């Protein structure tokens, strides 16, 4: 099995590890230490060796921060993690605070004392975040100090896991669709147009995309941790731990790419003296800005030049992703069939469900990894938005309730991410009504046509309006970007309430995942991935419009739908979707599952 | 009559005035001159004396700019004015360019030559715009130079109209709802919270709101042109031309407000030395920033502190606005009745229609002014988004087409703005289909419920999605803020495609005005004003939701509706709206008009 169900932390982490950290802080004369979730690579998902926040606090969510004073400490999480943090973190040790509302800056203003020295690791903070933190500390009369060695790392010592050294391998052209030299030339031209001679690339996904390579340093995504410097002429220097370099790699990279080690990076940056160098402040830590400034380079703060080209998938990547979804949809449909039939004899617990689903994916023979740990939330566990089942929390499905299963897979040809909420027995009228409101939002966002220039934030309301009309909402974004055999979360595109200036462009893959969560009751989420289509004329219309092609193919549980709440248009849309599911998934299935699918996708 | 139909400019303005301007430029050693539409008060609508762009080019739209070189010139307008500019401006004299796409900066980069001096009037440009312009000129090797006297003003000379000196009068508490000292204390506290000792207020609407005064310096809005300095303790200095000060004004302002003349302003700014002073870079020209910097004040760039409190109307203002709309709706309904009956004998031209509507408004006895020149667009003229009928363009209504009438009024108790598109004879099937798509968008935006924190840009898609689905769209915003007996366009709230960080708050009044325009064919727009309601619980829901109360009351032409394109929900919503119109407007009408209204508002 790939997924495990043990807990890698527990609430004793804070009380046990804080004294060690405080001693290491004292050794450096620090009154406080900032502990962000992000690591040196500004990763969302971390290798175990870099999960400093987890080790210090016990909290394992994908975003957060802590501030450790000698006499107090606080942890900061967002709305997704308010339940989880109370479960994982010792509240006698850490005060729990909101990451967004006020956040670390407000805490520093209020908790720091005049003259105090607050340590930070310059490799872990973006320069913009750091500036806000410095201002906040300054208001309290305290000062932020960069640390030469992170006191937390010193305290962690021998117990800290080793840095990952997974092999880095070529991603063949039959999946990547564009060779690296073409990508490098294209991005290099964009650099030149911005007046830059070079760009420092620190986002592992950009490194992977640009050089058509994949790695395994971070669980659940094929990212190679490393950095690169791309010159405007398309040549590049790539910095990888030599232990990760596989035999075929140098030839694959070709002679326009110089392969070097991470130890070479500081000198390589120093060689950029006098040049205009693009660095993305959202992706690269303050260390890069400081190092380049010291070297006498002129830093151009701009978006990672690979981000937008990477987000707009080429036809080969889209076709690969379609294949991945057809394969993945069959595995998921087998699971849903099992859950609706065989599993009814004795209702399964979450871990059994997760294992069953993983086995169906493994049986495809193409599974490289899960794209994240499967969330299977039975009854009230479904209301914990970023729940992960563990032996301790494991819960059995209950008749008269719902089970939420959010899962995905990494295949060589594409990355999937899908959520289905299924009825266990007969759901209540309230469950059905709310499921249907979520479905209405999902369908509205799937069928919208929109002109060039439209942002994801402009479309977000489509997924929420039916819920809003009934006084309901969900506290997470509606859609995130998804990579092609890369991260299951990628930017710059997204669909959310927060204003965004990024227009949706053809080839971008996004999730469409509205939800509803009743704390202590049940959770509902319906998620498909969809790809932005080229602007196309509409009969009788005047302006070509983008649209979405739905990639994910698996039945949406008709037993959860209050049919009378759907309009004719919505019913026809759902039926057409289910007809596609039947057509693409059906032929892959065994007779019993296929018969079940026929029924599960019958017109509503 | 208030509205006139002559043209105040013609395409000869460019060829006649440019030589004069160029001579004045040469006198100051300038190779080029920037001519923005905005005046010293960053007004949208200008007193004639300040319409420099109009005098230089002939263009009279509400936004735009020109750049005049010695050997070439260009005018810049946005999508609303692409038709109008070709009609008003001599294209042999001015190259026509897009204001938004590229705009003035791109033109400077491309048109300026190394070493050239490009003049600008520091009182007419925001500091941010200026910075972009300076950078663009710099890229071309040219330099931007502030002019001590605007060469255009010098060229205009005697022919230039006098500055307006309309009397400034108190706006009684029965309309304003909150006395000035309470407002000043409230805004003063907000200043203190931002760390400012004072704010410089240059937006006429803010001056009018804060001191509960109204003026008449700008046609169609009761704005007094003037400036103020508000101290954090709630005291203020108000700078008004003494010719405008009416007898009651000093007592009305009270002893916390020092009344001074505009000549006193530079010295008053100099007295702010050493203090932190808030100035809004979107409202105040570079001159204020330069003057304060020279005086040694610390400038805090932040939004005009009156903007948000002014936008959130108090209960007295909302109640007044409701009365204004009930009165205005009756006048408009009488007009629609006339148009549908008596006027059918001989179809009227646009000017006749405008005069008739103005007469109905005048007959209320409460009309202070129109809130803008009525747009009556018959047939193809309806497709010109910001059309204003003139003797030259005047067109007769045509059977089998549509007439678009966008109008509004200023009353002491409120400002109105309403658009109705009416059938002349029998509209075509295409007209009806597209009218219905516009109506669907209008209804969706009227009925939406939304949580606190939602911005107008998040709601914009609701008004467009039905059009988008048919390959159609409109090139203007969906909603603008509206004042309470103040400007018919006010910020900071708006509903549009462009990302906005301004959350909609209870008491904000906005227009809801989707449209569709077929160039050379016809125009459709349906516009009501609506006020954001307090968050309220919804039965069965969990979270209180804002909503909109529709303020505008006048029938929407049922003859233009393709009934089968509306959902049951939409039909019920339209019928409920029409029932309200019948109930509030009906009793004010004469028997014949009332009988007609009964029919016009019957269930669809």
Give pLDDT, residue B171: 98
Q: Chain A within 8 Å of B106 (Cβ-Cβ)?
A: no
Q: How far is A242 from chain B (nearest CA, A)?
A: 44
Give the three-class secondary structure for B82: helix
A208 alpha-carbon distance from chain centroid: 16
Phi, psi of B268 (to 5 degrees): -60, -40
Query: What part of A 427-456 touches B (C-beta under 8 Å)?
Result: 447-451, 453-455
Q: What is the CA radius of gyration of chain B?
A: 25
- The residues near B107 (Cβ < 8 Å, ≥ 6 apart) are B67, B74, B76, B97
Confidence of residue A385 (pLDDT cuts 50, 70, 90): confident
Share of residues in chain A with pLDDT > 70 (%)? 100
Query: What part of A 538-557 touches B (C-beta under 8 Å)?
Result: 538-545
Give pLDDT, residue A53: 97
Q: How far is B106 from chain A (nearest CA, A)?
A: 15
Q: Which residues pair with B377 in a beta bridge?
A: B404
Query: What part of A 124-163 touches B (C-beta under 8 Å)?
Result: none
Strand pairing class (B73-77; B95-98): parallel
pLDDT at B219 over 90: no
Decide if B448 and A469 are in contact by the 8 Å CB cutoff: yes
Whole-structure pTM value: 0.93
- Whole-angstrom CA distances from B494 to A299, B41, B483, B505 are 36, 21, 12, 11
Query: Residue A53 burial (CB < 10 Å; 0-12/13-18/19+)?
Result: buried
Name every chain B residue with its beta carbon within 8 A of the beta carbon of A532: none
Contact A398, A347 (CB under 8 A): yes
Q: Which residues pair with B494 in a beta bridge?
A: B480
Least reliable range by pLDDT among B71-85, B180-194, B449-463? B71-85
Name every chain B residue with its beta carbon within 8 A of the beta carbon of A544: 471
DSSP for residue B168:
B
pLDDT at A518 over 80: yes
CA distance B420 to B332: 9
CA distance A297 to A291: 9
Q: Name the E strands within A161-297.
A: 169-170, 198-201, 213-214, 227-231, 236-239, 257-260, 276-279
Per residue in B394-450, pLDDT (tens digit) is 999 999 999 999 999 999 999 999 999 999 999 999 999 999 999 999 999 999 999
CA distance A432 to A427: 7
Give the three-class secondary structure for B391: coil
Give pLDDT, residue B79: 81
Per residue in B450-469, pLDDT (tens digit) is 999 999 999 999 999 999 99
Name every chain A residue with its beta carbon within 8 A of the beta carbon of B540: 470-471
Residue B437, CB-side half-sphere exposure with 13 Å CA sphere? 21
pLDDT at A191 over 80: yes
Give pLDDT, residue B101: 86
- Residue in the block written with tokens 């609706």: A340
**Which letter, b or e, does each residue of A494-525 get, where b requires 16 or more Cβ atoms within 10 Å of its Cβ?**
bbbbebbebbbbbbbbbbbbbbbbbeebbbbb
- Number of A/B CB contacts below 8 angstroms equals 93
Confidence of residue A492 (pLDDT cuts 50, 70, 90): very high
Closest CA to B28 of B57, B58, B68: B68
Least reliable range by pLDDT among A102-106, A446-450, B349-353? A102-106
Q: How many CB atoms sit inside 10 A of residue A365's CB?
A: 7
Give pLDDT, residue B418: 98
- The residues near A256 (Cβ < 8 Å, ≥ 6 apart) are A181, A184, A234, A235, A236
Share of residues in chain B with pLDDT > 70 (%)? 100
Q: How far is A496 from chain B (nearest CA, A)?
A: 9
Name every chain B residue with its beta carbon within 8 A of the beta carbon of A567: 567
Phi, psi of A421 (to 5 degrees): -115, 125
Determine the Cα angle at B319 with ends B313 and B322, to 5°. 105
Least reliable range by pLDDT among B77-86, B330-339, B410-419? B77-86
CA distance A500 to A502: 6
Q: What is the arithmetic mean of pLDDT over A183-193?
A: 97
H-type helices in B448-567, by residue range? 456-469
Nearest CA in chain A to B568: A567
- Whole-angstrom CA distances from A164 to A2, A123, A225, A486, B589 are 17, 18, 9, 17, 81
Q: Name the E strands within B150-220.
A: 169-170, 198-201, 213-214
DSSP, residue by residue, B261-288 = -GGGHHHHHHTTTTSEEEE-TTTS-HHH
pLDDT at B43 over 80: no
Give pLDDT, residue B225: 93
pLDDT at B36 over 80: yes
Query: Quick one: chain B helix, strand, coil %, rounded to 5?
Result: 40, 20, 40
Confidence of residue A140 (pLDDT cuts 50, 70, 90): very high
DSSP H or E stretch at residue B236: strand B236-239
Give the three-class secondary structure for A571: helix
CA distance B567 to B578: 17
Q: What is the arithmetic mean of pLDDT over B368-390?
A: 93
CA distance B509 to B489: 10
CA distance B38 to B53: 9
Select from B454, B462, B541 the Cβ nearest to the Cβ of A471.
B541
Name every chain B residue with its beta carbon within 8 A of the beta carbon of A462: 461, 465
- Whole-angstrom CA distances from A54 to A34, A88, A93 are 14, 10, 14
DSSP for residue A326:
H
Select from A458, A459, A469 the Cβ nearest to the Cβ of B449.
A469
DSSP for residue A560:
G
Name every chain B residue with its beta carbon within 8 A of the beta carbon of A537: 471
DSSP H or E stretch at residue B493: strand B490-495
For residue A278 the two structure tokens come to 């693009």
Nearest CA in chain A to B447: A469
Residues in chain B: 604
H-type helices in A239-371, by residue range? 249-253, 265-270, 286-295, 307-311, 315-340, 350-362
Best of B436, B455, B470, B568 to mutate (most A CBs within 10 Å, chain A): B470
CA distance A424 to A434: 16
Give the long-range contacts of residues A308-311, CB within 8 A, separation 24 or more.
A308/A492, A308/A505, A309/A183, A309/A186, A309/A187, A309/A209, A310/A205, A310/A206, A310/A209, A310/A483, A310/A486, A310/A490, A311/A481, A311/A490, A311/A491, A311/A492, A311/A493, A311/A505, A311/A507, A311/A508
Give pLDDT, residue B102: 87
Give pLDDT, residue B276: 96
Query: What part of A 560-579 touches B (C-beta under 8 Å)?
Result: 567
Decide if B499 and A497 are in contact by the 8 Å CB cutoff: no
pLDDT at A214 over 90: yes
B250: left (phi > 0), else alpha (psi -120 to 50), else beta? Answer: alpha
Q: What is the mean pLDDT of chain A?
A: 96
Determine the Cα angle at B298 with ends B292 and B304, to 5°. 75
Per residue in A40-78, pLDDT (tens digit) is 987 777 899 999 999 999 999 989 999 999 999 999 999
Select from B460, B501, B538 the Cβ nearest to the Cβ of A471.
B538
Q: Chain B within 8 Å of A458 (Cβ-Cβ)?
A: yes
Per residue in A307-359, pLDDT (tens digit) is 999 999 999 999 999 999 999 999 999 999 999 999 999 999 999 999 999 99
DSSP H or E stretch at residue B337: helix B315-340
Q: How far is A543 from chain B (nearest CA, A)?
A: 5
Per residue in B298-323, pLDDT (tens digit) is 999 999 999 999 999 999 999 999 99
Contact A295, A277 (CB under 8 A): no
For residue B533 the two structure tokens come to 């309601």
Q: How far is B447 from chain A (nearest CA, A)?
A: 9
Phi, psi of A201 (to 5 degrees): -105, 120
Best of A443, A456, A458, A464 to mutate (most B CBs within 10 Å, chain B): A458
Select from A499, A539, A543 the Cβ nearest to the Cβ of B457.
A499
Select from A451, A458, A468 the Cβ nearest to the Cβ of B545.
A468
pLDDT at A465 over 90: yes
Query: What part of B 470-509 touches A (C-beta under 8 Å)?
Result: 470-473, 497, 499-501
For residue B29 the two structure tokens come to 């050693």
Strand pairing class (A198-201; A276-279): parallel
CA distance B601 to B593: 12
- Whole-angstrom CA distances from A345 to A341, A351, A399, B363 are 8, 17, 12, 79
Q: What is the arithmetic mean of pLDDT over A151-175?
A: 96
Contact B179, B225 (CB under 8 A): no
Q: What is the arithmetic mean of pLDDT over A441-459?
A: 98
Contact B568, A566 (CB under 8 A): no
Q: How far is B470 from chain A (nearest CA, A)?
A: 5
Name every chain B residue with its beta carbon within 8 A of the beta carbon of A454: 461, 497
Q: Which residues pair with B450 in a beta bridge?
A: B546
pLDDT at A19 over 80: yes
Q: How far is B334 from chain A (nearest CA, A)?
A: 35
Decide if B471 and A567 are in contact by the 8 Å CB cutoff: no
CA distance B107 to A131: 35
Q: How many CB atoms sit inside 10 A of residue A400's CB?
A: 12
Decide if A457 and B462 are in contact by the 8 Å CB cutoff: no
Decide if A459 and B460 are in contact by the 8 Å CB cutoff: no
């Amino acid at each position: 099995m790939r997924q495990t169900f043990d807990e890698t932390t527990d609430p004793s982490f804070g009380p046990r590890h804080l004294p060690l950290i405080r001693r290491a802080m004292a050794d450096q004369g620090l009154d406080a230490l900032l502990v962000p979730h992000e690591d040196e690579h500004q990763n969302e998902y971390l290798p175990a060796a870099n999960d400093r926040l987890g080790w210090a606090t016990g909290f394992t969510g994908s975003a957060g921060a802590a501030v450790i004073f000698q006499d107090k400490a606080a942890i900061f999480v967002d709305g997704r993690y308010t339940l989880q943090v109370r479960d994982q973190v010792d509240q006698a040790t850490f005060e729990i605070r909101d990451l967004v509302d006020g956040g670390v800056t407000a805490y520093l203003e209020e908790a720091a004392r005049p003259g105090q020295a607050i340590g930070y690791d310059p490799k872990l903070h973006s320069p913009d975040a750091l500036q806000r933190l410095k201002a906040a500390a300054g208001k309290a009369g305290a000062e932020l100090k960069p640390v030469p060695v992170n006191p937390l790392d010193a305290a962690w010592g021998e117990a800290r896991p080793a840095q990952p050294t997974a092999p880095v391998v070529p991603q063949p052209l039959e999946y990547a669709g564009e060779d690296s030299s073409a990508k490098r030339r294209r991005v290099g031209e964009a650099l030149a147009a911005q007046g830059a001679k070079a760009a420092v690339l620190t986002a592992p996904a950009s490194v992977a995309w640009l050089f058509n390579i994949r790695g395994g340093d971070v669980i659940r995504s094929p990212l190679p941790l490393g950095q690169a410097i791309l010159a405007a002429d398309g040549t590049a220097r790539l910095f990888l731990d030599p232990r990760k370099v596989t035999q075929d790699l140098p030839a694959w990279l070709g002679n326009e790419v110089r392969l070097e080690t991470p130890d070479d990076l500081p000198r390589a940056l120093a060689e950029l003296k006098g040049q205009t160098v693009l660095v993305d402040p959202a992706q690269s830590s303050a260390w890069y800005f400081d190092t380049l400034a010291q070297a006498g380079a002129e830093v151009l703060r701009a978006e990672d030049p690979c981000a937008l080209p990477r987000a707009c998938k080429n036809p080969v990547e889209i076709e690969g992703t379609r294949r991945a979804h057809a394969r993945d949809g069959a595995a998921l449909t087998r699971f849903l069939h099992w859950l609706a039939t065989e599993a009814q004899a004795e209702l399964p617990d979450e871990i059994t469900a997760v294992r069953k689903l993983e086995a169906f994916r493994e049986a495809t023979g193409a599974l490289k990894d899960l794209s994240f740990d499967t969330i299977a939330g039975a009854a009230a566990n479904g209301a914990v938005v970023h729940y992960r089942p563990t032996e301790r929390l494991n819960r059995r499905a209950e008749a008269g309730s719902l089970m939420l299963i959010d899962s995905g897979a990494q295949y060589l040809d594409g990355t999937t991410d899908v959520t289905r909420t299924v009825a266990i027995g007969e759901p209540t009228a309230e469950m059905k009504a709310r499921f249907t409101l979520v479905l209405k939002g999902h369908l509205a966002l799937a069928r919208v046509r929109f002109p060039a220039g439209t942002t994801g934030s402009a479309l977000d309301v489509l997924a929420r309006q039916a819920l809003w009309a009934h006084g309901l909402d969900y506290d997470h974004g509606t859609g995130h970007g998804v990579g092609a055999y890369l991260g299951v979360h990628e930017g710059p595109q997204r669909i959310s309430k927060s204003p965004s200036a990024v227009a949706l462009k053809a080839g971008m893959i996004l999730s469409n995942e509205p939800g509803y969560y009743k704390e202590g009751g049940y959770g509902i989420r319906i998620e498909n991935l969809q790809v932005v289509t080229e602007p196309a004329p509409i009969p009788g219309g005047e302006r070509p419009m983008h649209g979405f092609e739905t990639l994910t193919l698996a039945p949406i549980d008709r037993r959860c739908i209050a049919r009378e709440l759907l309009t004719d248009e919505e019913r026809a849309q759902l039926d057409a979707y289910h007809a596609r599911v039947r057509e693409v998934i059906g032929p892959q299935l065994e007779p019993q599952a296929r018969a079940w699918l026929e029924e599960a996708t019958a017109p509503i």
